[in-house]
Amino acid sequence: MTALPSPTGLIGHAHLLPDLLAYRGNALLLAGPARVGKRPLALTLAAALNCAAPTPGPCGVCPSCRALGAGQHPDVLIVEPRATTSTGRAARRKLIPIGAIQADKDTDHEFEGHVLEFAEVRATFARRVVVFDGAEFLGDTAANALLKLVEEPPHSTLFVFLTEDVAAVLPTIASRAARVNVTPVPDADLARALALMGEAADAELLGFAAGRPGVIVQRAAARAAMEDARTFTDALHAGMLEALEGAEGLEKRFDPVWHPEVLRFAWRAEEPFARARADAALEHALGALERYVSPALTFQVLALELRAALGEAS
């Protein structure tokens, strides 16, 4: 759904909006770490471009803003890597295929909207906006199908590409977009945001956020994953049986969006060599999950490898 983000999603980045609104080109490339606020910024830009009375951002109450707030804006299309295969299994690797670009190539009907067809329709409000959340996952054929559209978009469609890794974005796309760096914000800004939400500053949460407002916005999920990481790490040091039981518990709650990063954060105080070995074990486990290896077996092996990496308790 393409809902208008909460104001907290723009913590530290509202100053970028006037320049983005003044941009007259066809494509933007917003670059920055995960959860730093690229997607809320892109959606706020889309809202402001279509708002009946932007002051200077979207008013939040006009028909266009209400439509985006409800996740039903006719002029905004979000394109993301497919998360599952046509059979319902988790995708082995992230990819935005050509089927997301052209309807006739979407043989398995994986996408509700298709970029070429979307851009050909005149805007209901003011301007059509296509947001690619994960530009580094555009496949070669998908990117090639986009090139002419990005260069000469019908109805002045704006393309906003979001990426965590500029070097991984195909040069044919990166060269056609104006790059804007969306950088982490000061901890003081995140602490103030927490205070506005009625919460005291949380040193551990702020440490994990590392200047990324998205962690604060999704703090419940972050805190739950951090608790899982603490519990699992304690189990690793408690003994073999506890480690295997901890692995079973982590398997049941594992979220690939949060847990890998949170586990690495939990190991931040370990010696560099131990962290490197632990990270290698985690990458091995994530690769096994992508290959559909038994999750139970994968997490058991992970527990054993992590005990060796982090040092067994005496």
Residue 273 is encoded by which pair of tokens? 């060599």
- Structural domain boundaries of the chain? 7-183, 218-310
pLDDT tens, position by position, 129-176 = 999 999 999 989 999 999 999 999 999 999 999 999 999 999 999 999
pLDDT tens, position by position, 14-37 = 899 999 999 999 999 999 999 999
Q: Match 């006037």 to its residue by tokens.
A: 18
3-state helix, strand, coil in the chain (%, to 5): 55, 10, 40
DSSP 155-215: GG-EEEEEES-GGGS-HHHHTTSEEEE-----HHHHHHHHHHTT----HHHHHHHTT-HHH
Task: Decide: helix, strand or coil at residue 77.
Answer: strand
Rounded distance between C-alpha atoms, residue 274 and residue 70, angstroms? 47
Architecture of domain 7-183: 3-Layer(aba) Sandwich (3.40)
pLDDT of residue 313: 40
Residue 140 is encoded by which pair of tokens? 């070669």
Whether the pLDDT of residue 1 is over 50: the answer is: no
Backbone phi, then psi, for 37, in 5-degree steps? 120, 15
Whether the pLDDT of residue 312 is over 60: the answer is: no
Arithmetic mean of pLDDT over the chain: 90
pLDDT of residue 53: 87
pLDDT of residue 123: 96
Q: Which residue has the higher pLDDT, 56 or 81?
A: 81
In the chain, % of residues over pLDDT 90: 79
